[in-house]
Amino acid sequence: MIEAASSRATPFPPNWLARIGLLALALYVVYACSTLDITWARFVEGLGHAPRFISRMLPPDVAPDKLQLLRHGMIESLQIAILATVFGIALSLPLGLAAARNLSPGPLAWLSRTLIALLRTFHPVIVAILCVKAIGFGALAGVVALIVASMGFVSKLLADAVEEMSMQQVEAVHATGAPFLSVIVIGVLPQVMPRFVGFCAYQLDSNLRNSALVGLVGGGGIGATLFTAFQRFDYDFVLTIVLAIVAIVMIGEIVAGWMRSLFQ
């Protein structure tokens, strides 16, 4: 009996590779902190500046001319977000379907997957910088940047949703002799619609937040107003803008939740 027990493999063998990996990671974190001058003392010193900064922000600036600027920037940001969402979703639908390997022929699916991967490579801010350089300052650059981001996100998730749908339902529609587009409309879309609406709602939400970001790099909207306020040290106006962005994002989240609940 005892012999048998000792010759049996231990049920939880030590994973030396994982241990060495974790140790290496810990060592690297210490090393990186030292090279980047990240120390506790530096952090505490930095904290001292915070109260001064905050006191300069209060109270938020609500002068009529500032509110006019705020309103103008906000409306532009909303337009950027909504346009980018509408065009982004419209383009994502065909791209996502083309990328689904259970619907489209191999080479097309592969090509679409590659395009989606490219669209997703860079953060929206980096895409926005490229767009500003290519198209020029202003809302158009912001819209294009967010369309790219929307397509990357929505079409990838749509393709995955289509690949997970029930092929039995699609098969039955095929068997009636329906043309390809009717198969999509009747057999595929009803299956993926709730999830698709969910992705779109999330993307609208996300575009609202990111529309402020793309403005910081010249893509128009409230981000541009915010950037100018920072540069002019108008910290009280900065606070007004930040509060307005928070409000818009929260409203966006409520709208998105409501859209999702409509399509259950």
Partner 1 sequence: MDASAPSPPAATGLDRSLVIRRLTKHYRAGAPVLKNITLTVEGRGVTAIIGPSGTGKSTLVRCINRLIDPSAGEILFLGQDLAKLHGRALRKARRHIGMVFQEFNLVERLSVIENVLTGRLGYVPVWRAWLRKFPAEDVDRAFRLLDAVGLSDLATRRADRLSGGQRQRVGIARALMQHPDLILADEPTSSLDPKTSVEIMELIARRAGEHEIPVIVNLHNVELARRFADRIVGLSKGEIVFDGPPHRLEDTHLLAIYGGEGWLE
Which C-beta is closer to partner 1: that of 45 or that of 171?
A: 171
How many Cβ atoms from other residues are within 10 Å of residue 61's Cβ? Answer: 19
Cis preceding-peptide flag for 59 (omega within 30 of 0): yes
Contact 78, 248 (CB under 8 A): yes
Q: Identify the CA nearest to 128 among candidates 199, 75, 70, 77.
A: 77
Residue 169 or 228: which CB sits closer to partner 1? 169
Cα–Cα distance for residue pair 258/192, rounded to 1 Å:
18
Shortest CB 157 distance to partner 1, Å: 18
Among residues 11 and 177, whose Cβ is nearest to partner 1? 177
Largest CA distance in the chain: 89
Instruction: State which amino acid sits at residue 55.
Output: S
Smallest gap, in angstroms, from Cβ of residue 163 to partner 1?
17
Compute the least distance from the CB of residue 168 to partner 1, in Å.
4
- Written as one letter, the residue type at 198 is G
CB of 121 to partner 1, least distance (A): 34
The CB-of-181 to partner 1 minimum distance in angstroms stands at: 4
- When the beta carbons of 44 and 175 are compared against partner 1, the nearer one is 175
Closest CB to partner 1 among 91 and 167? 167
Return d(Cα 244, Cα 72) in angstroms, integer: 12
Distance CA 97, CA 104 (A): 7
DSSP 138: S
User: Residue numbers of the site for partner 1 (CB under 8 A)?
Assistant: 166, 168-169, 171-179, 181-183, 185-187, 190-191, 193-194
Distance between CA atoms of 244 and 55, rounded to whole angstroms? 19
Nearer to partner 1, 78 or 186 (CB): 186
- Tell the smallest beta-carbon distance from residue 184 to partner 1 (Å): 9
